[in-house]
Every structure is written in structure tokens, then in C-alpha cells.
């Protein structure tokens, strides 16, 4: 990724965000009045957001509202048509984990994780693979792995660069419920422990609640609704009444049955 803060749509932060009382010095990511257009349609417009260091933001919304396009714009993979994205440390400070694992079939697990990195990163890669239960799979190829194992490799590949900001584009959508919940827990524990800032896009309301300290409902014209999640770090979150109450609120905001 281009490490410059001066790409189209990206500029160094100055002062405070127009819609936030959080000073720029305490903000990891600032998006201001952002719009992204494709040749034949608008992806999203008028999106403004400030994310503090260590915050975990979940974004939900109906299909086609621009969630994935927003993540790509934050990562510098798509240029904005209007507005700005400002990221502490520039684009090199963030890693993105995609919906598909995007592993290269001709490279081993370790080779995929170290793609583009130097030998100095081998120790960090091995440590992360061990943490994800993949130490014994380092010499295997992607076609020898299960779906859950492939996504763990993709996660390690995103984390080995020690990102300040982790972007997650529905990376667990294709997994069965058991593997999905296990990987949710692993990601959450690692991100919280390391103090990584996270922005996650998901179609799952329950996943958004479990993963996010703040939850946004996105529309193509900006943020429809947002709420803090004070129970984010509760060990029994999935079984708490507050979990289901928040799910009901978010489902209503999305226009689904209460």
C-alpha cells in the first residue's frame, strides 16, 4: 500500500473533526464527509466518523450500502470522490482481512504469511501461527487446510505486520457457526490484548455486538444509527439479556422484525 498521507482523499489530520469533540491527537482514524462513486452508481456519501485508538467498531447495514467500499477507501485501495480519510501512521499502519482468504495455492502457510516481508518477521509469524493452533501446519499448502484454518492463516497474515488499525471485511461469513464463534473470540482477545484499533464490516447483528465496543448502522447516505456497547468485554456476553436487547434494537434499525 502507498504509505503517503497525500493520496487523493487522504490528508494529514489537523485540528478536530467537524462532527466530533474528540481532538485529533486522540483519534486513530478520521473520515470526513466521504463519498465514493463507481462509474454507474454511488457506493456511499456523506460518511463522517472518528475512531479512537483501541476502539473496536462494528458496521452493519443492508447489502449495497457501501460497507466494503468504505473499508477499501480507508485502506487506500479505492480513491474517494469527495471528502477525506486520515489515518495515524498512513496506510502502512493498517491491515485488511478480506471476505475470501486470498491465499496463494503455490505457497506454504508460512510463505503466505511472510509474503512481502523479510526474514526478520519469521519469529513473529511462527509465534502467531502457534497462537492460532497452526504451528504444525506451517509447511502445508492452502488446499490441505479446512476453511477455518485458511481464515486463521489469513488473520495471521494481517496481524504479522503489527498493524495499528485492523480492517475486517466479513472474513468469517463462510464459516460454520462453531468455527465462526471460535475465531471471533480469538480475534477479539488478540485485538484487545494488543490494543489494536479495529473496524469490522459484517451482516451478522450478533457478530457486530460480540466484536464491537461501538456499533454503527450504515446507509448509503451516511450513518443511520450508532450506539456504544458497554458490555463488550463481558465474558458471558452472548448469554446476557443486554445482548438480546441490543440485538432487537439493531434489528429494528435495519428494518427487520423486532
Look up residue 120 and give its three cell numbers: 526478520
Look up residue 110 and give its three cell numbers: 508460512
Single out the residue of 235, 227, 190 nearest to residue 210, CA to CA. Answer: 235
Q: What does the pLDDT read at residue 104?
A: 94
Q: What is the C-alpha to C-alpha distance for residues 171 and 102, in angstroms, rounded to an integer? A: 11
Cβ contact 205:250 at 8 Å: yes
- Residue by residue, DSSP assigns 181-245 as HHHHHHHHHHHHHHT-EEEEE-S-HHHHHHH-SEEEEEETTEEEEEEE-TTTT-TTGGGSHHHHH
DSSP 176: -
Q: What is the C-alpha to C-alpha distance for residues 63 and 239, in angstroms, rounded to an integer? A: 28
More confident residue, 133 or 214: 214
The whole-chain average pLDDT of the chain stands at 86
What contacts 205, CB < 8 A, 6 or more positions away?
A: 60, 247, 250, 251, 254
How many separate helices (H) and strands (E) can be counted in the chain?
Answer: 7, 9
Residue matched to cell numbers 477479539 = 188
Q: What is the C-alpha to C-alpha distance for residues 244 and 50, in angstroms, rounded to an integer? A: 27
What contacts 244, CB < 8 A, 6 or more positions away?
A: none
Q: What does the pLDDT read at residue 125?
A: 92
15: pLDDT strictly greater than 70 = no
pLDDT tens for 120-178 read 889 999 999 998 889 999 999 999 998 888 988 998 999 998 899 999 998 888 788 88
183: pLDDT strictly greater than 70 = yes
More confident residue, 231 or 46: 46
Q: What is the C-alpha to C-alpha distance for residues 200 and 210, in angstroms, rounded to an integer? A: 11
Look up residue 197 and give its three cell numbers: 484499533
Domains and CATH numbers, the chain: 24-104+165-253 (3.40.50.300)
Most confident residue range from 179-188, 219-228, 236-245: 219-228
Q: What does the pLDDT read at residue 233?
A: 82
- Three state DSSP letters for 68-108: HHHHHHHHCCCCCCEEEEEECCCHHHEEEECCCCCCCCCCC
How many CB atoms within 10 Å of residue 254? 16
pLDDT tens for 155-170 read 899 999 889 999 999 8
What are the beta bridge partners of residue 198?
A: 56, 166
pLDDT tens for 108-119 read 999 999 998 888
Amino acid at each position: 500500500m502507498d504509505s503517503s498521507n497525500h493520496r487523493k482523499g487522504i490528508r494529514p489530520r489537523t485540528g478536530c473533526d467537524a462532527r466530533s469533540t474528540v481532538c485529533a491527537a486522540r483519534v486513530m482514524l478520521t473520515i470526513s464527509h466521504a463519498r465514493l462513486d463507481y462509474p454507474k452508481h454511488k457506493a456511499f456519501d456523506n460518511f463522517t466518523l472518528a475512531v479512537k485508538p483501541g476502539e473496536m467498531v462494528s458496521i452493519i447495514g443492508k447489502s449495497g450500502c457501501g460497507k466494503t467500499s468504505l473499508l477499501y477507501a480507508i485502506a487506500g485501495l479505492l480513491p474517494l470522490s469527495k471528502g477525506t480519510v486520515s489515518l495515524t501512521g498512513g496506510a502502512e499502519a493498517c491491515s485488511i482481512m478480506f471476505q475470501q482468504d486470498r491465499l496463494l495455492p503455490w505457497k506454504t502457510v508460512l510463505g503466505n504469511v511472510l509474503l512481502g516481508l523479510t526474514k526478520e518477521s519469521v519469529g513473529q509469524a511462527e509465534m502467531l501461527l502457534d497462537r492460532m493452533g497452526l504451528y504444525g501446519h506451517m509447511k502445508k499448502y492452502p488446499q490441505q487446510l479446512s476453511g477455518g484454518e485458511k481464515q486463521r492463516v489469513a488473520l495471521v497474515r494481517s496481524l504479522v505486520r503489527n498493524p495499528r488499525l485492523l480492517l475486517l471485511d466479513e472474513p468469517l461469513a463462510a464459516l460454520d457457526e462453531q468455527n465462526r464463534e471460535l475465531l471471533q473470540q480469538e480475534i477479539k482477545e488478540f485485538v484487545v490484548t494488543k490494543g489494536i484499533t479495529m473496524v469490522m464490516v459484517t451482516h451478522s447483528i450478533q457478530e457486530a455486538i460480540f466484536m464491537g465496543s461501538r456499533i454503527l448502522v450504515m446507509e448509503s447516505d451516511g450513518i443511520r444509527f450508532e450506539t456504544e456497547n458497554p458490555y463488550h468485554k463481558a465474558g458471558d456476553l452472548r448469554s446476557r439479556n443486554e445482548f438480546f436487547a441490543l440485538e432487537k434494537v439493531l434489528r429494528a434499525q435495519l428494518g427487520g422484525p423486532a
